[in-house]
């Protein structure tokens, strides 16, 4: 609720603090006493347009401060507030200097008027002519009708189906939008597969080919050199023969001296190793062959592998992995069944949404009929008995709330056609219509401070009392602040505030506004004044006491 409103240098208000209480708060006072200035201060707190003409004469700037207690608000409402405004209490301040520059502070932190508006208009609603009436903004009428009809279950079912359809539609749109990119990617992958598939490259193949090419390119030299070595090993006076001759002579010497036996063994081992090495060399020379066609083929393959490595900037093992991944991705891109299945799911989801939308439209239409019937009864209690209020439902595109555009329309006189609420000209009628709507509709906007101006215009007697009782009923679940000229309304107040204009008799002789909280005899006298006029009689006081106690 709004706990405190502090006003400095606004119009004829010098410096004034107003303390509001829970329940029904009424502001009374003579015509021209300054009640409208209090409403102007609230408008500034709502983010309304400020003017330097509002600044009190001889002052440099005006300032309006408000303290809101949020302790009893549900967490869901608080979570929708900007981070700067969350907590059990909000202190809002707005100032405007004669230069036209203004400042906004929320909980001591600098903010913009836009942020101020989003915060304050989520908490307080001023209902009166040319003032912000959130209930009368067409965007909220659908929400109000749903609240009145109790359509939470139907709306939840629709929104679940709508969310699924919207997600599938977004997914399908993304796939179709990226179709060109998919085609280009498919083309790139096909080029990679065409490049790499025919070669059937193996990891590490390049190193093997390089060694084989080097060996085959030197085949003639290897054969000639190997045969020359074999000639030395097996020709006339070969090394093998000489070692055999040396071994035989050493054996003869060993018969003369056994100390040479170890040397004989070494030469015999050398002879055996030389024989084995000769056989290995013969086999090697036999394997080496000269095949120019094979050599050219190997050189061509090696060159192709090297070209692909340069092109794709990877090694031969990298080429193998590139081919594998390209083939896998190409197979996935070529799967048209996925897009077709997504189309089918999206179409099915759309059908479900349309069915749920039809159901929602049906129950809304039924709720609109009940609302029209109930409104006729309630409007009569606030001296609008000839008025008709209906919820007009027109089809529109599917959206998060269905495909119904809802606008409340009213005809305030017999024979008149229904017109949108925003076109209702009378401020008093507008305030009373809003009061009826607040009574009938279970608003879910989170607004918990309701300010009514001119709600009693053109009414009196029993109707005035009925209006007061409606305000009192609303005050049971919201804080209500009401500017009134009727004793029947003021007598129901939980907090009664008197707005008085005081003409100072000093040298400057400047007028100012004083706002007092009335209790006891002071409240009785004010109610009596509202009943009797300028002269307060004992009979008027008695009537005032009767109103206060009835």
Cβ-proximal residues to 213 (8 Å cutoff; 6+ apart), any chain: 295, 298, 299, 302
Number of Cβ atoms within 10 Å of the Cβ of 62: 26
The mean-pLDDT minimum among 84-93, 151-160, 490-499 falls in 84-93
The mean-pLDDT minimum among 155-164, 232-241, 368-377 falls in 232-241
531-542 tens-digit pLDDT: 887 778 888 889
Specify the DSSP element, H or E, that contains 35. Answer: helix 35-45
Most confident of 174-188, 222-236, 471-485: 471-485
Residue 48 is given by DSSP the state: P
Nearest to 22 by CA among 542, 472, 410, 339: 472
Helices in 290-410 by DSSP H: which ranges?
292-312, 316-333, 337-380
Contact yes or no for 272/243 (Cβ under 8 A) = no
5-49 tens-digit pLDDT: 999 999 889 899 999 999 999 999 888 788 888 888 888 888 878
> Exposed e or buried b for every residue in 386-410, given b needs 16+ CB within 10 A?
ebbbbbebeeeebeebbbbbbbbbb
Looking at the predicted structure, is the pLDDT value of residue 359 above 50?
A: yes
Specify the DSSP element, H or E, that contains 153. Answer: helix 152-177
Mean pLDDT of 493-516: 81
Q: How far apart are CA 380 and CA 369, in angstroms?
A: 17
Mean pLDDT of 395-407: 92
Q: Identify which has the larger pLDDT, 24 or 384.
A: 24
Q: Confidence band (pLDDT; 50, 70, 90) for 291?
A: low
The mean-pLDDT minimum among 6-10, 72-76, 359-363, 377-381 falls in 72-76
Nearest to 5 by CA among 528, 499, 533, 522: 499
Q: Identify which has the larger pLDDT, 353 or 415.
A: 353
Mean pLDDT of 386-409: 91
Number of Cβ atoms within 10 Å of the Cβ of 437: 24
**CB burial class (10 A; 0-12, 13-18, 19+) of residue 289?**
exposed
Number of Cβ atoms within 10 Å of the Cβ of 540: 20
Nearest to 453 by CA among 37, 143, 1, 88: 37
Mean pLDDT (the chain, rounded): 82
Looking at the predicted structure, is the pLDDT value of residue 405 above 90?
A: yes
Mean pLDDT of 59-86: 77
Per-residue pLDDT, 297: 82
Looking at the predicted structure, is the pLDDT value of residue 315 above 50?
A: yes
Assigned fold of 1-123+446-518: Rossmann fold (3.40.50)
Nearest to 444 by CA among 141, 98, 31: 141
Looking at the predicted structure, is the pLDDT value of residue 94 above 80?
A: yes
Beta bridge partners of 64: 7, 94
Looking at the predicted structure, is the pLDDT value of residue 524 above 70?
A: yes
Q: How far apart are CA 22 and CA 450, in angstroms?
A: 12
Per-residue pLDDT, 507: 44
Looking at the predicted structure, is the pLDDT value of residue 290 above 70?
A: no
Looking at the predicted structure, is the pLDDT value of residue 361 above 70?
A: yes
Specify the DSSP element, H or E, that contains 7. Answer: strand 2-10
Q: What is each CA distance from 267 to 254, 275, 276, 342, 519, in whole angstroms?
A: 13, 12, 14, 87, 137
The mean-pLDDT minimum among 47-51, 229-233, 357-361 falls in 229-233
Q: How far apart are CA 125 and CA 198, in angstroms?
A: 77
Pinpoint the residues of the chain covered by CATH 3.40.50.300: 1-123+446-518
Looking at the predicted structure, is the pLDDT value of residue 131 above 60?
A: no
Q: How far apart are CA 184 and CA 111, in angstroms?
A: 50
Specify the DSSP element, H or E, that contains 229. Answer: helix 219-234
238-288 tens-digit pLDDT: 777 777 777 778 887 778 777 787 887 888 788 788 888 888 877 877 776
Most confident of 15-24, 133-142, 185-194: 15-24
Q: Identify which has the larger pLDDT, 356 or 436.
A: 356
Q: How far apart are CA 234 and CA 25, in angstroms?
A: 130
Residue 436 is given by DSSP the state: H
Pairing of strands 495-503, 24-28: parallel
Q: What is each CA distance from 458 to 15, 467, 468, 527, in whole angstroms?
A: 33, 12, 14, 19
The mean-pLDDT minimum among 325-334, 344-353, 441-450, 537-546 falls in 441-450
Per-residue pLDDT, 478: 84
Instruction: Tell me what percent of the residues of the chain surpass a pLDDT of 90.
Output: 21
> Exposed e or buried b for every residue in 210-225, given b needs 16+ CB within 10 A?
eeebeebeeeeebbee
Helices in 411-519 by DSSP H: which ranges?
427-440, 461-474, 487-490
Q: How far apart are CA 77 and CA 121, in angstroms?
A: 12
Looking at the predicted structure, is the pLDDT value of residue 513 above 60?
A: yes
């Amino acid at each position: 609720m709004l706990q405190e409103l502090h006003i400095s240098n606004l119009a004829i208000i010098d410096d004034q603090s107003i303390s509001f209480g829970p329940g029904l708060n009424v502001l009374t006072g003579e015509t021209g006493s300054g009640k409208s200035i209090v409403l102007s201060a609230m408008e500034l707190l709502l983010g309304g347009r400020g003017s330097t003409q509002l600044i009190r004469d001889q002052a440099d700037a005006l300032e309006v401060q408000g303290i809101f207690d949020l302790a009893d608000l549900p967490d869901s409402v608080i979570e929708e507030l900007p981070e700067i405004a969350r907590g059990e209490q909000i202190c809002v301040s707005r100032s405007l200097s004669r230069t036209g520059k203004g400042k906004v502070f929320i909980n001591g932190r600098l903010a913009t008027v836009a942020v101020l508006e989003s915060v304050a208009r989520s908490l307080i609603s001023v209902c009166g002519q040319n003032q912000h009436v959130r209930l009368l903004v067409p965007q909220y009428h659908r929400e109000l009708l749903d609240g009145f009809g109790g359509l939470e279950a139907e709306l939840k079912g629709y929104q679940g189906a709508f969310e699924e359809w919207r997600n599938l539609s977004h997914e399908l749109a993304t796939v179709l939008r990226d179709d060109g990119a998919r085609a280009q990617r498919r083309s790139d992958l096909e080029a990679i597969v065409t490049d790499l598939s025919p070669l059937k490259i193996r990891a590490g193949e390049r190193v093997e080919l390089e060694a084989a090419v080097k060996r085959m390119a030197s085949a003639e030299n290897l054969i000639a050199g190997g045969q020359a070595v074999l000639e030395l090993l097996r020709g006339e006076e070969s090394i093998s023969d000489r070692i055999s001759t040396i071994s035989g002579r050493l054996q003869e010497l060993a018969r003369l001296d056994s100390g040479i036996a170890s040397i004989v063994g070494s030469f015999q081992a050398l002879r055996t190793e030389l024989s084995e090495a000769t056989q290995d060399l013969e086999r090697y020379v036999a394997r080496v062959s000269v095949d120019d066609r094979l050599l050219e083929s190997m050189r061509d393959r090696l060159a192709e592998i090297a070209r692909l490595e340069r092109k794709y900037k990877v090694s031969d093992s990298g080429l193998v992995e590139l081919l594998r991944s390209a083939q896998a991705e190409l197979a996935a891109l070529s799967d048209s069944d996925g897009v077709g299945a997504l189309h089918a799911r999206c179409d099915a989801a759309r059908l479900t949404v349309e069915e749920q939308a039809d159901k929602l439209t049906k129950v809304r239409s039924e709720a609109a009929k009940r609302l029209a019937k109930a409104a006729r009864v309630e409007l009569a209690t606030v001296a609008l008995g000839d008025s008709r209020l209906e919820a007009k439902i027109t089809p529109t595109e599917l959206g998060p709330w269905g495909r119904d555009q809802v606008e409340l329309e009213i005809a305030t006189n017999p024979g008149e056609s229904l017109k949108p609420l925003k076109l209702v000209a009378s401020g008093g009628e507008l305030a009373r219509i809003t009061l009826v709507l607040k009574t009938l509709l279970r608003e879910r906007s989170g607004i918990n401070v309701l300010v009514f101006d001119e709600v009693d215009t053109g009414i009196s007697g029993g109707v005035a009392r009925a209006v007061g009782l409606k305000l009192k009923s609303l005050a049971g679940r919201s804080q209500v602040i009401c500017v009134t000229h009727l004793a029947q309304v003021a007598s129901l107040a939980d907090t009664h505030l008197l707005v008085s204009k005081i003409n100072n008799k000093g040298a400057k002789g400047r007028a100012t506004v004083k706002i007092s909280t009335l209790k006891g005899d002071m409240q009785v006298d004010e109610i009596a004044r509202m009943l009797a006029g300028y002269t307060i009689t004992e009979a008027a006081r008695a009537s005032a006491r009767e109103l206060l106690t009835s």
